[in-house]
Amino acid sequence: MPSVATAPPIAAIATAPGRGGVGVIRISGSRLEAIVEGLIGRPLSPRHAHFARFRAADTSAIDEGLAIFFPGPNSFTGEDVLEIQGHGGPVVLGMLLRRCIELGARHAEPGEFSKRAFLNGKLDLAQAEAVADLIDAQSEAAARSALKSLDGAFSLEVRALVDALIHLRMLVEATLDFPEEDIDFLEAADARGQLCELQAQLARVLATATQGKLLREGMHVVLIGQPNVGKSSLMNALAGEEVAIVTDIAGTTRDTVRELIQLEGVPVHVIDTAGLRATDDVVERIGIERTWAAIAKADLALLLVDSREGVTQHDLDILGRLPRELPVLRVFNKVDLTGDVPGDVARDVVHVSAKTGEGLDALRQRLLHQVGWHGDDGVFIARERHLDAIRRASAHLDQALAAYQQVELFAEELRLAQNVLNEITGEFTSDDLLGVIFSKFCIGK
């Protein structure tokens, strides 16, 4: 584990690859004096922007720009950090980075700066993950929620739960010393009531975290149906541009076409597919195989039917072949030709016209409803890992309640629930898991 005293210096280009006005190199580690001296030729006063020439080994200039030195522990990583702001060209940044390596730094691994910040206690794990989520945010709502988590909103909720658990555990552990009175004592302290309140609190955090996960990951919606029902037209209408080819020839779409749209800040990956029918056309057959592959990965399927025909036997066959657990919304398209009520609120059915746009707002609302979206008020960003921990903590509390009469079991389940919650903030997390989490970050963060 690196510490402020011994961390070997790491360096990376922190700005995105390609050309830009400014490019930033970040170096972190203990004892950066040699690098500062070799690169700039003079010491830097802490947290001041210095204009400097960045020097090669023979003291010729590689570039010029700003250098800022943040002595540890008052830095992002908690170690000494040097930030070099040069010109944002890949060649010049590459030369600067090589110079840092020459002076004793090594290339940073993905997420290594954030990992060091976590290991040095500057951020907890949920906050470190929020850094990556802020960078990866696909909508403004997702970015706002990531910042909430980075500011500690999620961690505070988790800590409140852990504190309540500790309080209850202290009560239970105390009774273990007086076995003859234990149950009475727990009754008198309303341990059961406290446990139920904890469960309710967990459920509230889970609900918010579920919204946060939606903002981070979005949902995959696949458009399926027979040829010519208007899947590609609906795709284009939802995307607001002509991303898929539309013709009146059945079997127009061969390949799956994907487009990312936003619904109230929730990223929705819409996937248009080849119409499902029996065919001898080799290319179309491959397209249909791809439709089934897309269905297997989807969170929701929209089965489009032509309003003039209604649901046919062929549609029923398609429905029968869909994975059991896949939610399906039936979309009656082309209502402009039949005069059906657009936006009809019957369960699992929506009436639209991809051509005129009628019923599309109702469809968008239905999509959001289907994934359980309630708006981003107070939502912090979250990941499946967090949701899983909250669910497991809740299962331990259920077990605790079931074991209420056996105080030792009761105490053990509370201990396990606490450990599981601590995984979220990283107070109880294996090195392997840390490796997996940080390896998904970008280099330079």
Ligand X SMILES: Nc1nc2c(ncn2[C@@H]2O[C@H](COP(=O)(O)OP(=O)(O)OP(=O)(O)O)[C@@H](O)[C@H]2O)c(=O)[nH]1
CA angle in degrees (0–180, nearest 5) for 429-434-440: 145
Q: How many residues bind ligand X (CB under 6 A)?
A: 23
Q: Which residues pair with 84 in a beta bridge?
A: 25, 67
Residue number with the shortest CB distance to ligand X? 275
Distance of CA 391 to the CA centre of its chain: 18
Say if residue 151 carries a ligand binding annotation.
Answer: no
> Taking contact as CB under 6 A, which single stretch among the options 26-34, 130-138, 226-234, 372-380 is the one that binds ligand X?
226-234
> Taking contact as CB under 5 A, which single stretch among the options 22-30, 232-240, 338-346, 403-411 is the one that binds Mg ion?
232-240
355 binds ligand X (CB under 6 A): yes
Q: Is the distance from CB of 172 to CB of 179 less than 8 angstroms? A: no
Three-class DSSP labels, 175-199: HHCCHHHHHHHHHHCCHHHHHHHHH
**Cβ-based nearer residue to ligand X, 169 or 258:** 258
Quote the tokens at residue 233.
């037209």
What is the pattern of x (binds ligand X, CB under 6 A) and - over residues 420-439? --------------------
Q: Which partner in Mg ion, ligand X, none is near 363 (CB below 5 to 8 A by kind)?
A: none
Rounded CA gap, 86 and 53, in Å? 9
243 Cβ contact partners less than 8 Å away, ≥ 6 residues apart:
235, 236, 257, 259, 272
Say if residue 272 carries a ligand binding annotation.
Answer: yes
Q: Which partner in ligand X, Mg ion, none is near 229 (CB below 5 to 8 A by kind)?
A: ligand X
Say if residue 249 carries a ligand binding annotation.
Answer: yes
Rounded CA gap, 368 and 294, in Å? 20
**Cβ-based nearer residue to ligand X, 67 or 303:** 303
Indicate if the alpha-carbon torsion angle 367, 370, 375, 381 is positive or negative. negative
Min dist CB 117 to ligand X, Å, is: 49
Find, among 202, 259, 200, the residue nearest to 235 by Cα: 259
Say if residue 18 carries a ligand binding annotation.
Answer: no
> Taking contact as CB under 6 A, which single stretch among the options 1-9, 107-115, 223-231, 394-402 is the one that binds ligand X?
223-231
**Cβ-based nearer residue to ligand X, 73 or 357:** 357
228 binds ligand X (CB under 6 A): yes
> Which of 93, 214, 229, 302 is the binder for ligand X (CB under 6 A)?
229
Angle between helices 153-176 and 191-217 (to 10 degrees): 150
> Which of 247, 312, 406, 439 is the binder for ligand X (CB under 6 A)?
247
CA angle in degrees (0–180, nearest 5) for 400-402-406: 75
Q: Which partner in Mg ion, ligand X, none is near 219 (CB below 5 to 8 A by kind)?
A: none
What is the pattern of x (binds Mg ion, CB under 5 A) and - over residues 266-305? ----------------------------------------
> Which of 337, 341, 345, 402 is the binder for ligand X (CB under 6 A)?
337
Q: How many residues bind Mg ion (CB under 5 A)?
A: 4
> Which of 139, 233, 291, 394 is the binder for ligand X (CB under 6 A)?
233
Q: Which partner in Mg ion, ligand X, none is near 326 (CB below 5 to 8 A by kind)?
A: none
Q: What is the DSSP string of 223-243?
A: EEESTTSSHHHHHHHHHTS--
Q: Is the distance from CB of 229 to CB of 251 less than 8 angstroms? A: no
230 binds ligand X (CB under 6 A): yes
Q: Which partner in Mg ion, ligand X, none is near 230 (CB below 5 to 8 A by kind)?
A: ligand X
Q: Is the distance from CB of 396 to CB of 416 less than 8 angstroms? A: yes
- CB burial of 194-203 (b: ≥16 within 10 Å; e: otherwise) equals bbeebbeebe
The torsion of the CA quartet 289, 291, 296, 300, rounded to 10 degrees, works out to: -170
The torsion of the CA quartet 274, 275, 277, 283, rounded to 10 degrees, works out to: -30
232 binds Mg ion (CB under 5 A): yes
Q: Which partner in Mg ion, ligand X, none is near 180 (CB below 5 to 8 A by kind)?
A: none
> Which of 15, 127, 175, 253 is the binder for Mg ion (CB under 5 A)?
253
**DSSP three-state, residue 57:** coil
Min dist CB 253 to ligand X, Å, is: 3
Residues at the site binding Mg ion, with contacts judged by CB under 5 A: 231-232, 252-253
Residues at the site binding ligand X, with contacts judged by CB under 6 A: 227-233, 246-248, 250-253, 274-275, 333-334, 336-337, 353-355
Binding-site residues from annotation for GTP = 228-233, 247-253, 272-275
Binding-site residues from annotation = 26, 83, 122, 228-233, 247-253, 272-275, 445
